[in-house]
Amino acid sequence: MPDQTPPIALDIEDLTVAYRSQPVVWDLDLHVPPGVLMAIVGPNGAGKSTLIKAALGLVPRAAGSVHFFGKPYDEVRLRVGYVPQRGSVDWDFPTTVLDLTLMGLYGKLGWIRRPGRAEFDRAMHALEQVGLQDFAHRQIGQLSGGQQQRSFIARALVQDADLYFMDEPFAAVDAVTEAAIVNLLQELRSLQRTVIVVHHDLDTVTDYFDHVTLLNVELIASGPTTEAFTEANIRRTYGSRTLKALGVS
Amino acid sequence: MYGLEQVIIQFLLNFTSQESINTILNDPRIVAIIIGGLVAASGGLLGVFLKLRHMSLTTDAISHTILLGIVVAFIVMSSILGLEPDLSSPGLILGAALAGVGTVILTELVQRSGLIKGDTALGLVFPLLFAIAVLLVSRFTSNIHLDNDSVIVGEIGVAWANTNTHCYTGCEDVVITPEHPAARVGRVCTNCSPGGINPRSPEAVFTEQCSNCGTYNAAEAWAQGLTDVQPLLVLWPRSITTMGVITLLNVAFILIFYKELKLASFDAALARALGFKPGWLHYTLMILVSITAVGAFDAVGAVLVVAFFIIPPATAYLLTHRLGWMLILSPFLGAISALVGYDLARANLLGWLPFSELIPGLTWNTSISAAMVIAQFIVFLLAWALSPEQGFVAAMLRRQNQRRHFEDQVVMGHILNHQETLEASQELATDTLHQHFRWTPARTQQVLRRLRRLQLIVITQNRVQLTEPGVRAALSFEQTLRTGS
């Protein structure tokens, strides 16, 4: 008899991440159903980016396990897309917007194989989706901050992943770009993709996202925005420092 | 390497004669330029990625610490294995590669301790390893061919003289026996001694002895006039082979892993997330840097080799926004600088501009590698000044154009605002116009002259007025101000 329940998109069990002996993420359990648009919110130093990086194996886990669609990351790399913080790369790198977008396809190409006609077409299509088709051959350093963020998202779109992590895609972008990105995220959700976004603006959480995770080293709450994004939870996440002190000492 | 040289020479002999190969290889200028060009090409290729990964100074560290690898490998090979290694021996190259990677790993360990950060960790590790190497050199290897000069600047002249001899015809050893016509045979007293038996004494016993008998290789025999057969020899500088192989290795690495190197250099996190091994690429790159630095060691030395890794890529970076073009321009500019640098050192540019003769009595015979570095820097300065997009001159012209354009718009905007008004006669009088802008009269007149030349304004009876195209230009500028694009 086939299993009728859809597999959980992201399943994190007992995750602890530490820099030296200082925990950054403490004993975290998180279950994200597929097809949701989820915000991760929490104060600075709450471990939001670290959570993503630990899930992708970019920082070592001190304890715990992470599964995507019921499998370890190594087996489903290509089903997971990642948009790092815009400031994490050198935008003076000698490459074009099209070339940057093509990098999203490197995973599918594997070692040594070079992108060909089909890959170029897909990259151009993704650039059209984010409205950057006219900038394809610009050097990436010539883009504005918002355009850079959109080119990063185009790079993630060509990956055609089932689950996306985005680390602060709304940081320092103007209102027009923010609206464009929100549209793209909602389009992804309508295609049954799961999108997990590190987010800073508490005012827009309810408008943009259907799920939310509140994090401050420990998990405070996670679930549909209507249930989890309560004043009490927000206060517990941002208000008191006691939780953080607990985790740190 | 010897076998490879034979293959290359055999291949060349299909197209040209042994004499012309030797003429080329005997020319110190050509050999120095070939070797310098190969060092520049291989360094310039790797240097592009070092520059983009912000690791230029790591090259500096590696180029020093490979000395430790060389010395340790030398001691192991000579005193334990009883070999006579030189700088192209695989053992020494392996030792250098290990030392280079060891430097990077040690530095990363120190950084990970969290106590010492960034480049300080590098500055802590590499002088230590270099100091150990210097101690070992002075203590154990008095006979090794490593002195201060060669460590610091190297000498391409040495690389030129350091050859393998390849023989093609007439290569048989010549054996001189006492019967050979070239043998020098003399009678020698066998029992004479000072104060004892005198050669004149009747007891003296004589035998015939040959003073030059023995086995000579073909080249020695010909040089000493012991044979009539001139051997066909090619004296091949070893550095050409070593640097040639290293250059090919670097080219192959970059061609094969171009895409992976680009991704790992730009966004290591994504590279790791997609399953590429940025760490693996990183250490392979460091191994190649070490090998390249060893190959370049006797030609350009440990200090100056850094320039061959850094200056050409920095120059290429000023000239293009494309990684592919950087990888073509950088080795090319490096090789050109090697050519110009050699001639700079010998004060005889391209062989036809002997500027040393302009100053009589001046002998000009300086360090070739140092002159090559100066040439690289001159090329860099030219690129900095003249690069079409990012260059200093282009930026200056752009700024000047912007300033002029802005002045034009300020004046035209002023005229547009006032030319149909009652106070037009005061506001638009040419001789008092400058007061409205708080400009000097000269500057104002200059702008007016320019606008008249462009037929955007006319001056009638000491009053400026916009022409019809002038009105259109002023209006469209105001339009762009409003829409903000």
Contact B265 A93 (CB under 8 A): yes
Q: Sorting pLDDT into bands at 50, 70 and 90, what band is B485?
A: very low
Cα(B1)–Cα(A220) distance, rounded to whole angstroms?
A: 66
Question: Of the candidates B262, B273, B325, which has its C-beta nearest A82's C-beta?
Answer: B273
Q: Is B253 touching A (CB cutoff 8 A)?
A: no
Residue A249 has pLDDT above 60, yes or no: no
What are the residues facing B216 on neighbouring strands?
A: B174
Chain B residues within an 8 Å CB radius of A139 = 321
Question: Of the candidates B257, B269, B326, which has its C-beta nearest A94's C-beta?
Answer: B326
Q: What is the mean pLDDT of chain B?
A: 84
Q: Is A58 touching B (CB cutoff 8 A)?
A: yes
Q: Is B270 touching A (CB cutoff 8 A)?
A: yes
CA distance B50 to chain A (A): 12
Contact B269 A53 (CB under 8 A): yes
Interface contacts (A, B; CB < 8 Å): 76
Residue A109 has pLDDT above 80, yes or no: yes
Under DSSP, the state recorded for A139 is B
**Helix, strand or coil, per DSSP, at residue A170:** coil
Contact B272 A95 (CB under 8 A): no
> What is residue B417's predicted lDDT score, i.e. its pLDDT?
83
Based on C-alpha coordinates, what's the Rg of chain A?
18
> What is residue A36's predicted lDDT score, i.e. its pLDDT?
93
Contact A106 B269 (CB under 8 A): no
pLDDT digits (tens, 9 = 90+) for B255-299: 999 999 999 999 999 999 998 989 999 999 999 999 998 888 777
CA distance A227 to chain B (A): 33
Q: Is A86 touching B (CB cutoff 8 A)?
A: no
> What is residue B4's predicted lDDT score, i.e. its pLDDT?
87
Q: Sorting pLDDT into bands at 50, 70 and 90, what band is A1?
A: very low
Cα(A104)–Cα(A161) distance, rounded to whole angstroms?
A: 10
> What is residue A95's predicted lDDT score, i.e. its pLDDT?
94
Percent of chain B with pLDDT over 90: 27
Task: Name the pairing type of β-strands B163-167 and B233-237.
Answer: antiparallel
Task: Name the pairing type of β-strands B214-216 and B174-176.
Answer: antiparallel
> What is residue A242's predicted lDDT score, i.e. its pLDDT?
44
Q: Sorting pLDDT into bands at 50, 70 and 90, what band is B363?
A: low
Lowest mean pLDDT among A69-83, B56-70, B192-206, B320-334: B192-206
Q: How far is CA B200 from CA B156, B187, B190, B197, B211, in A?
A: 57, 13, 13, 8, 22
> What is residue A245's predicted lDDT score, i.e. its pLDDT?
47
Q: Tell how far CA B388 is from the center of its chain.
A: 24
> What is residue B360's predicted lDDT score, i.e. its pLDDT?
59
Q: Is B280 touching A (CB cutoff 8 A)?
A: no
Q: Sorting pLDDT into bands at 50, 70 and 90, what band is B212?
A: confident
Q: Is A60 touching B (CB cutoff 8 A)?
A: no
Test the A interface: residue of B274, B318, B323 with most A CBs within 10 Å: B274
Under DSSP, the state recorded for A209 is -
Q: Is B320 touching A (CB cutoff 8 A)?
A: yes
Test the A interface: residue of B270, B277, B320 with most A CBs within 10 Å: B270
Residue B87 has pLDDT above 80, yes or no: no
Pull the structure tokens for residue B406: 């802005």
Question: Of the candidates B258, B275, B320, which has its C-beta nearest A107's C-beta?
Answer: B275
Q: Using CA coordinates, name the residue in chain A closest to B257.
A: A112
Contact A111 B276 (CB under 8 A): yes
Q: What is the mean pLDDT of chain A?
A: 88
Q: Sorting pLDDT into bands at 50, 70 and 90, what band is B204?
A: confident
Question: Of the candidates B256, B267, B274, which has its C-beta nearest A112's C-beta?
Answer: B256
Return the amino acid letter for B142: S
Residue A4 has pLDDT above 60, yes or no: no
Q: What is the ipTM of this complex?
A: 0.89
CA distance A27 to chain B (A): 23
pLDDT digits (tens, 9 = 90+) for A35-69: 999 999 998 888 999 999 999 989 989 899 999 99
Q: What do you get for the CA distance between the two ends of chain A, in Å?
A: 50
Cα(B414)–Cα(B429) distance, rounded to whole angstroms?
A: 12
Chain A residues within an 8 Å CB radius of B253 = none
Lowest mean pLDDT among A141-145, B24-28, B396-400: B24-28
Q: Sorting pLDDT into bands at 50, 70 and 90, what band is B353?
A: low
Contact B262 A95 (CB under 8 A): yes
Cα(B301)–Cα(B246) distance, rounded to whole angstroms?
A: 16
Cα(A214)–Cα(A218) distance, rounded to whole angstroms?
A: 9
Cα(B397)–Cα(B389) distance, rounded to whole angstroms?
A: 11
Lowest mean pLDDT among A86-90, B164-168, B269-273: B164-168
CA distance A244 to chain B (A): 23
Q: Sorting pLDDT into bands at 50, 70 and 90, what band is B117?
A: confident
Q: Is A137 touching B (CB cutoff 8 A)?
A: no
Contact B269 A88 (CB under 8 A): yes
Based on C-alpha coordinates, what's the Rg of chain B?
35
Question: Of the candidates B259, B274, B320, which has its C-beta nearest A114's C-beta?
Answer: B259
CA distance B409 to chain A (A): 26
> What is residue A248's predicted lDDT score, i.e. its pLDDT?
39
Q: Which of B127, B63, B72 is nearest to B94 (CA)?
A: B72
Contact A94 B52 (CB under 8 A): yes
Maximum average pLDDT range among B131-135, B380-384, B396-400, B422-426:
B380-384
Residue B86 has pLDDT above 80, yes or no: no
Q: Which of B418, B414, B448 is nearest to B431 (CA)?
A: B448
Q: Sorting pLDDT into bands at 50, 70 and 90, what band is B364?
A: low
Task: Name the pairing type of β-strands A218-224 and B163-167.
Answer: unpaired
pLDDT digits (tens, 9 = 90+) for A222-248: 999 999 898 888 888 887 554 444 443
Q: Sorting pLDDT into bands at 50, 70 and 90, what band is B119?
A: confident
Question: Of the candidates A80, A84, A103, which has its C-beta nearest B263's C-beta?
Answer: A103
Domains and CATH numbers, chain B: 2-156+237-386 (1.10.3470), 172-230 (no CATH), 392-483 (1.10.10.10)
Q: How far is CA A173 from CA A155, A208, A246, B22, in A?
A: 17, 16, 35, 66
Residue B73 has pLDDT above 50, yes or no: yes
pLDDT digits (tens, 9 = 90+) for B412-452: 888 888 877 777 777 788 788 888 888 888 888 888 888 88
Q: Is B49 touching A (CB cutoff 8 A)?
A: no
Question: Of the candidates A94, A103, A115, which has its C-beta nearest B317's C-beta?
Answer: A94
Cα(A56)–Cα(A60) distance, rounded to whole angstroms?
A: 10
Test the B interface: residue of A50, A66, A85, A89 with most B CBs within 10 Å: A89
- Count Cβ neighbours within 10 Å for each residue of B379-397 and write b for 16 or more, e otherwise: bbeebbeebeeebeeeeee
Residue B159 has pLDDT above 80, yes or no: no
Q: Which helix (H) or strand (E) holds A183?
A: helix A175-190
Q: Which helix (H) or strand (E) holds A128?
A: helix A117-129
Over range A108-123, report the average pLDDT: 91
CA distance B308 to chain A (A): 20
Chain B residues within an 8 Å CB radius of A78 = 274
Q: Which of A233, A167, A158, A220 is nearest to A195 (CA)?
A: A167
The beta strand positions in chain A, using DSSP E, are 10-19, 22-32, 37-41, 63-68, 80-83, 163-167, 194-198, 211-216, 218-224
Q: How far is CA B117 from CA B90, B112, B215, B369, in A?
A: 35, 8, 63, 34
**Helix, strand or coil, per DSSP, at residue A68:** strand
Chain A residues within an 8 Å CB radius of B54 = 90
- Count Cβ neighbours within 10 Å for each residue of B262-301 and write b for 16 or more, e otherwise: bbbbbbbbbbbbbebebeebbeebbbbbbbbbbbbbbbbb
Percent of chain B with pLDDT over 70: 92
